[in-house]
Structure 1
Amino acid sequence: MIQAHSTNLLEAPKQDFKQDIRAYFDYTAPELDRWSRRNRYYYGDLARLHQFIIPPGCRVLEVGCGTGDLLHATAPAIGVGIDFAPAVTAIASQKYPEFAFYTLDAEAIEPAQLDPEHRQFDYILLSGVLGYLGDIQAVLQRLQPFCQSHTRLILTFHSHLWEPLLGLAERIGQRRPQPPQNWLSMDDVANLLTITGYRSLQRGNRFLWPKFVPGIAGLVNRYLAPLPVVKHLCLTTFIVARPQPVPSSEQPTCSVIIPARNEAGNIAAAVARLPQLGAHTEVIFVEGHSRDQTWQAIQDLVQTYRGPFTLKAFQQTGRGKADAVRLGFDQASGDILLILDADLTVPPEDLPHFVEVLASGRGEFANGSRLVYPRSTTAMPWLNMVANKIFALLFSFLLEQPLKDTLCGTKVLWRRDYERIAAGRSYFGDFDPFGDFDLLFGAAKLNLHIVEVPIRYQPRTYGSSNIAHVREGLILLKMCLYASRKLKFR
C-alpha cells in the first residue's frame, strides 16, 4: 500500500501537468491559426526546414499536430496527425480532410489505436511539442513501433537561451500566451533519444531574426545565422534521428563498381585480391576512353574468369568518374554498392570492413578515410594531403558533421539509398564530374548515417594518376561554394 501510494504521488504532478496543457489547447484552439498568421515568418521557416528534409510523397506522422499546417507543408502521400486536444484535431480535420487526425495521448499511444494503413511512417515530426509533454521519454518509446529502419524523427524546439526574450514577447502581445513548459537543451534531447533507442544523425540551429523586416531578416537568417558561434544564438534548434539498428541475420549481396581508365595493369589484380563480400559478390568494370589496353584486359578477364564472383563489363559513352560510377550503379543487382578505384591505392582487402559497417547497421553510408593510418608521400604528396584536409573542413562545416577525408574514392552505400539519392539529384543538379560530392551531399540531405572507415592507402604499382590537381581542385572548390547555397545558406 505504501508503494502504491508513493506511485500515485509521483504520477499526480505529471497528470496535473497533462490536464493543464490539454485544457490550455482546448481553450486556445480557436486562436491558434490567428497567432500562426501573426507569426507567419517564423512558421514559414519551420515549413521550409521540414520541406528541405522530407521529400514529397512520403508517409508522415506529426505528434502534436496542432491545426495541421506543418503536416500539410510536407506534401505527404499519407499524412497522419495526433493531438490530445479534441478542439484542435477538429479544426485540423476540417482544414485538411485529405489527412487523418486522431485525438490521442502520445504518452499512451498504441499502433492498434490507428487504422492499419497508419502504423508505419517514413518521417515522424515533433515540432514545438516537447515543451508540452509530461513524459518525453514515454512518448519516444511509444513511437518505436511506428518506425522502420529508414524512418527519421525530426524534433524542433526553442533554444533555452531564448526563454527570457520569448517571455517578454508574451507580455507585450507579440506571442501567444504560454502555459508552464519544459525548456530543454540540445544535449537534453539528444540524451533522451539515446536512452529511448534512437541515434542522433544531425543537430542544427537556425533562425536568428524571428520577425520579418525587409532587407534585414532574410540576410541575417540566411547568411549570418549558420556561421560558427553565431548559430548557437538562434531561436530554433532541431535534431534528426533514426531508430537504433537491429542487425539482420541475413547476409547482403554486394556489387563492386570499378571505374577504369588507363589501368590495364591493375585489372586482373583487382579481382584476384578481392575477398568474398556478403552472400555473393558482383564485380562491374566500367571502362572510359582509355589510351592503353584497359578494355581488352577487362574483356579477357571476363571471358576467362572461373572464380566465385559474377563479372560484368561496360564502356561509358559519357565522360568522368561520376558518369562511370552511375552507369555501374544502374547495372548493379547487389544490396550494397561499393566503389573501388582501379588504381588499387585503396586495398581491395579492406572492403569487408565497409560491408560489415552497413550490414551491422552501424552506418548507412561508409566513406573511406586515408588520413588515419600512416601513408607514404608517394601515395599522397603533401599538396594532396593539404587539399584533402581543407576540403574535409569545408565538408564538415557544410554537412554539420566531422569528416576527415571527403575525397577518398571508396564510398559504400545501400542500393535502396542510392536510388533515393538519384531520385533527388535535381535539387543539386548534375554538377559533379567526380561523383564524390554528389553522393556525400545526397546522403547528407537524406540524413543517412555517414561514417568513415579507415583504410591503409597504398602507392599505385601501375600507371600514373589521371588527376589534374590544379584544374580539378578549382572545380571542387566551385562545387563547395555551390553546395553551400543549397545546404547551408539556403
Structure 2
Amino acid sequence: MVKPNKELKNWYYHRDLINYYAFNLTPQCSILNIHHGNDIFRDSLKYKNYKSVNISKKSIFPDKKFDFIFISDSLSVVRDIQSLFHKLKKCSSPNTRLIVNYHNYFWLPFLKIAVKLGIKDPQKYTNWLNTDDVINLLSIENYQIIKVGQRLLIPVYIPVISYFINRYIAYFPVINKLCFTNYLISRPVNDNKIYDQTVSVIIPVRNESGNIENTIKRLPKLGKHTEIIFIEGYSSDNTWDKIIRVQNKYKKLDIKVFKQQGIGKADAVRLGFIKARGNILMILDADLTVPPEELTKFYEAINKDKGEFINGCRLVYPVQKEAMQFLNTVANHLFSTILSWILNIKIKDTLCGTKVISKKNYLHIARNRKYFGDFDPFGDFDLIFGAAKLNLKYTEIPIHYQSRKYGHTNISRFKHGWLLLKMTIFALFKLKFV
C-alpha cells in the first residue's frame, strides 16, 4: 500500500487511486498513463517501463505496445473520447488492459462546493459520462469490457471511519451506486486474422477405467494439432493399464501419459499444464459428464478471441437426471451470484470442470500464485481467482451436463458446499476488500 503524503491536496483520494491501479499491475509490466495536469502515478509506481502523455497539451502517443494503459480522471476533459480510444489501439494489443476511472455524477454538487472551499482545484468539465456511456464508446471501438466497479463512499480522510466504510461497506449492492469513483477495465479485441492453434487436452483420471477409451473415441480434433494428456492419480482399479492399452491402440493420436506424484485434482492439472506443448490448454473430466464433443465450442471461443479464460456452465441447458442433485443446483446458483459480486464479473457456474486458457496466460497465473498461496485442492478457484486477478476476459460456454455412466464421483457433495463457502470468504478478502 502506498503511504500517504498528507501535505498534498486530496492525498487520501489519490492514495486510493494509486493503490487500486497498483493492485491490477503485474511485475515488470509496461505502463502508458494518459493524464491531464499532474501525473500522480510516476513517483509512486516504481516501474522502469513507464510512459506518460499529458492530453492537456499537444502530445504524440508512443508508437509501441503497452501492457497497461491508464486514463485516470481525464475523460471529463477530453473533447472526443471515441477518437482517444481509437488512437490508443496503436499502443495496444489484445493483451493490453485499459483501466479507466471517472467520477460519479451524483457527486457533482459536492465537487463544486469543494472547489469553492479550496479543497479541490477548479477544473473545466467538457463531459460528464456515466458507465453506460463509457461502455458504449469502448464497444464502438471494438474493446471488450472485463470489469466494471465502484470505490470510495467517503473520498476524504476521517480517522477509522473512512477506512472501515470504504473497505467493507462501500462495495455492497445499491450502496456502491453512491461511490465517488467509477472504474472500468477493458481490452482491445484482436482485429488480425485468426489462425488455428495447437491444443493440449488435460484429462485427470482416478478410478475411471471404463471411460478411458470412450474419451478418446469421442474427443474431436481441435486446432491444427491435438495433444491428449492423461494424468493418473492413485487409482484402485486398472485405470493405468487401460490408459497404456489405449495409448498403444491409437498410435496415430498424440497421447501422453503421466503418473501423478502429488495429491488432488489441482496437482494433476498443474502437472498436465507443465507437460503440455499446445498453445491452448483444456481440462476435460474423465467422468464424461461434459460431452467431449462440446470442446469444439471452447476452442472456437478462445481462438476467435471471445475470451481469455473460458469456463463451462452446467446451469443453462436441462441437466440429465441424477447428474446434479437439487441442493447442489441451489448452492451453485447462490455462490455464483455472490462470487459474481466479489469478482466483478458475471459468473454462473464455478465448479464445472471444463476450463480453457492459453498456455501464456496460465504461466502468468502460475507466476502470480504466491498472492493467493496453495489454497485450492481441486484447482477450479486457483484458475478462476488467478484469471480475475490478472483481469483476463471471462467467458462461459453452456454445456449439456450428463449423468455419469461408469464409476462413482470422487468428490463428496457436502465437501463441495464447504469448499464453496471457504473459497467465497477467501476471495472476499483477497479480491474485494482491497
* Corresponding position of 2:17: 46
Matched, 1:70 2:15: no
Task: Show the 5 A alignment for 1:73-222.
Answer: 73-84=44-55, 104-105=58-59, 109=60, 114=62, 119-222=64-167
Q: Which has the higher contact order (CA 8 A, sep 6+)?
A: 2
* Corresponding position of 2:382: 438
- Distance (Å, rounded) in 2 between the aligned partners of 1:390 and 1:319: 29
Matched, 1:263 2:263: no
Tell me, yes or no, if the aligned pair for 1:266 and 1:342 is still in contact at 8 Å: yes
**Residues 180 and 449 of structure 1, relative CA distance in 2, 3 Å threshold:** closer
Task: Show the 5 A alignment for 1:254-333.
Answer: 254-307=199-252, 309-333=253-277
Tell me, yes or no, if the aligned pair for 1:283 and 1:310 is still in contact at 8 Å: yes
* Corresponding position of 1:468: 412
**Residue from 381, 384, 397 that aligns with 1:453:** 397
Bigger CA radius of gyration:
1
* Corresponding position of 2:290: 346
Q: Which region of structure 1 is more displaced relative to structure 2, 264-273 or 337-346?
A: 264-273
* Corresponding position of 1:486: 430
Matched, 1:230 2:230: no
> Cα deviation per residue 1:282-328 (whole Å; 9 max; x = unaligned)?
00111111111111111222233223x31111111111111110110
CA drift at 1:426:
1.2
Residue identity in the other structure for 2:292: P
| Gap runs ≥5 in structure 2 | none
Residue identity in the other structure for 1:40: W
Tell me, yes or no, if the aligned pair for 1:246 and 1:361 is still in contact at 8 Å: no
> Cα deviation per residue 1:188-243 (whole Å; 9 max; x = unaligned)?
11111112221221111001111111211111001101100001100011111111
CA drift at 1:35:
9.5
- Distance (Å, rounded) in 2 between the aligned partners of 1:74 and 1:34: 15
- Distance (Å, rounded) in 1 between the aligned partners of 2:155 and 2:228: 53
Residue identity in the other structure for 1:359: N
Q: List structure 1 runs of 4+ shifted beyond 6 angstroms.
A: 33-36
Name the SS of the counterpart of 1:150 in structure 2.
coil
Name the SS of the counterpart of 2:391 in structure 1.
coil
Residue identity in the other structure for 1:56: P
Residue identity in the other structure for 1:59: S
Residue identity in the other structure for 2:388: A
Q: How many residues align?
A: 431
Please, what is the CA RMSD of the aligned residues? 1.8
**Residues 173 and 369 of structure 1, relative CA distance in 2, 3 Å threshold:** same
Write 1 or 2 for the structure with the bigger share of helix.
1
- Distance (Å, rounded) in 2 between the aligned partners of 1:343 and 1:160: 52
Residue identity in the other structure for 1:285: F
Q: Which region of structure 1 is more displaced relative to structure 2, 270-279 or 392-401?
A: 392-401
Matched, 1:60 2:31: yes
Residue identity in the other structure for 1:394: I
TM-score, structure 1 normalization: 0.85
CA drift at 1:356:
0.2
Residue identity in the other structure for 1:368: G
- Distance (Å, rounded) in 2 between the aligned partners of 1:159 and 1:355: 39
User: Once the two structures are aligned, what percentage of the paired residues are identical?
Assistant: 45
TM-score, structure 2 normalization: 0.95
Tell me, yes or no, if the aligned pair for 1:54 and 1:74 is still in contact at 8 Å: no
**Residues 441 and 34 of structure 1, relative CA distance in 2, 3 Å threshold:** closer
- Distance (Å, rounded) in 1 between the aligned partners of 2:375 and 2:201: 24
CA drift at 1:400:
1.4
* Corresponding position of 1:99: none
- Distance (Å, rounded) in 2 between the aligned partners of 1:234 and 1:179: 22
CA drift at 1:435:
0.7
> Cα deviation per residue 1:146-181 (whole Å; 9 max; x = unaligned)?
111211111111111100011111111211122343
